[in-house]
Amino acid sequence: MESSHRISFEVADRALRRIRPKTVILQLPSGLKRRAMELADEIGRRYGCRVVISGDSCYGACDIVPQSFRADAVIQLGHAPMRLPISTVPVVFIPILMDMDLEKLIATALPELKSPVGVIATAQHAHQIEEAMRLLRSSGLEALVGKGRGRASAPGHILGCDYSSARKIAGRVNSFLLLGGGEFHALGARLATGKPVIVIDPEREEALTGKIDSDAFLRKRFAIVQALADATTIGILVSAKLGQRRLRLAEELLRKSREKKKRAEILLMDDVSPAKLEDLGFEAYVSTACPRIALDDSGSYGRPLGTPAELMIALGEMDWGDYVIDDWGFALPKTTRRR
C-alpha cells in the first residue's frame, strides 16, 4: 500500500523565527540520515542559520544532543516533544507526518474490533486519530481516546516507553486500534492493557492481527528472569542521556540485588551495545534506560538483558503473575513479596 510522509516545517516556524538562531544542531533518526545534507540546506535557507548535523544516534525526544557544542537551538526531526526539562537550550521538534488510506485499512480491521474501541497511534500517525474515530463511529462502533500522562504529546499518542494513553481507557474498551508502529508497540499496548490490539500499518495491505503473539514474548522474557535469578553478578545500566536516566530506580535495584547476595554494580553509559556489555563481563544485565533496549534488542547482546520488573521477579520480590511491561512510569512495588 502506498503511504506518504511530509515534513511539517510550519509547526516549527513560529518558534524558530522567535529564537532567530545563528547556529542550530540538527538531530535526525536513522531513517533520515541519508537526507542530512538536503535537510540542513532547507533549514538553513528557511531560517537563515548555520546548521551543524549531529552524526550520533537519535532515539527520540529523550535523546537530546549534549550541549557541549555551542548552539542557539537544537532541531529534532521526526519525534514528538516530551514534557521534560531535558535541555539547556531551546529544542524545536519538526514532525514527520505519515498519511495512510484509513478508510481502506480500517475496513480490513472491522471484523477483529470489539466495541468500544480505543484508538492509539505512534507519533507519525497521531494526526489521523480523529479521522479514525470518525470512521469507526460511522461503522457503528463506539470509539474512545485516552489522554496520557508523562511523555505522550497528544491524546492517543503512545511510545515504546509510555502507554499511559492506552492504560487511561483500558477499563472502558474491549479492543484497541493502533495506527502505525508495527508489532513492538502493539505488543507493548497488549501487555500494558490486557486487551486485543489490532494494527493498521501503511506498509501493509490489511490490518495486522494474528501475529501479535504475547505468549511467545512472555516465554522469552521468562527465560531472562531465570537467567537473572541464576546470575551471581549483575550490571545495572543507567543511561547518560538525561531523558532516559532513571538513577533512583537503579539505586533501588542495586540495594535489592545486594540484599539477595548478588554482586551488583551500577554502570553508566550513553549508548548500550553488545561489545560494551561483553567487555564489562557481568553474567547478566538489567537496563533502566530506554525500555526498548531490553525488550526489543535483547537477543543481540549475548548476555541476558532484563528489565527492572524482571529483576524484581528474579529476586523473589514480585510474582511472575504480576509481570508488567517496562515503561517510564514503572516503580518498585511499595510492598514486596517475601519468600
* Strand, helix or coil for residue 278: helix
DSSP 8-state secondary structure symbol assigned to residue 147: -
**pLDDT tens-digit profile of 100-147?**
899 999 999 999 999 999 999 998 899 999 999 999 999 999 999 999
Give the class (CATH, top level) of 214-322.
alpha beta
Cis amide prior to 116 (ω within 30 degrees): yes
Amino acid letter, residue 202: P
pLDDT higher than 90, residue 180: no
pLDDT higher than 60, residue 210: no
Give the class (CATH, top level) of 4-96.
alpha beta
Bridge partners (DSSP) of residue 269 are 239
Q: What is the mean pLDDT of residues 313-332?
A: 91
- In the sheet with 50-53, reading across from the earlier edge strand, the strands are 50-53, 23-27, 73-77, 91-94
For 96, phi and psi rounded to 5 degrees? -110, 115
Amino acid letter, residue 76: Q
Percent of the chain residues topping a pLDDT of 90: 58
pLDDT higher than 50, residue 192: yes
- Give CA–CA dist 106/134, Å, rounded: 11
pLDDT interval class at 339 (50, 70, 90): very low
Q: What is the CATH number of domain 100-200?
A: 3.40.50.11850
Chain centroid to Cα 91, Å, comes to 19
CB neighbour list of residue 307: distance below 8 Å, 6 or more residues apart = 286, 287, 291, 294, 295, 326, 330
Segment holding 25, helix H or strand E: strand 23-27
Query: How do beta strands 175-179 and 197-200 pair?
Result: parallel
The reported pLDDT for the residue numbered 193 is: 94
The reported pLDDT for the residue numbered 252 is: 97
Q: Which three cell numbers stand for residue 306?
A: 532484563
Q: What is the mean pLDDT of residues 244-255?
A: 95
Amino acid letter, residue 266: I
CB neighbour list of residue 308: distance below 8 Å, 6 or more residues apart = 249, 253, 286, 288, 326, 330, 332
- Give CA–CA dist 165/178, Å, rounded: 12
- Give CA–CA dist 133/214, Å, rounded: 26
Phi-psi category of residue 181: left, alpha or beta, with phi > 0 → left and psi -120 to 50 → alpha:
left
Asked if residue 326 lies in contact with residue 308, where contact means CB atoms within 8 angstroms, the answer is: yes
Where in the chain are the domains?
4-96, 100-200, 214-322
Asked if residue 116 lies in contact with residue 193, where contact means CB atoms within 8 angstroms, the answer is: no
DSSP 8-state secondary structure symbol assigned to residue 50: E
DSSP 8-state secondary structure symbol assigned to residue 64: P
Distance between terminal CA atoms of the chain? 53
pLDDT higher than 70, residue 45: yes
**pLDDT tens-digit profile of 144-158?**
999 987 788 889 999
**pLDDT tens-digit profile of 277-294?**
999 999 999 999 998 899
DSSP 8-state secondary structure symbol assigned to residue 125: G
Asked if residue 60 lies in contact with residue 123, where contact means CB atoms within 8 angstroms, the answer is: no
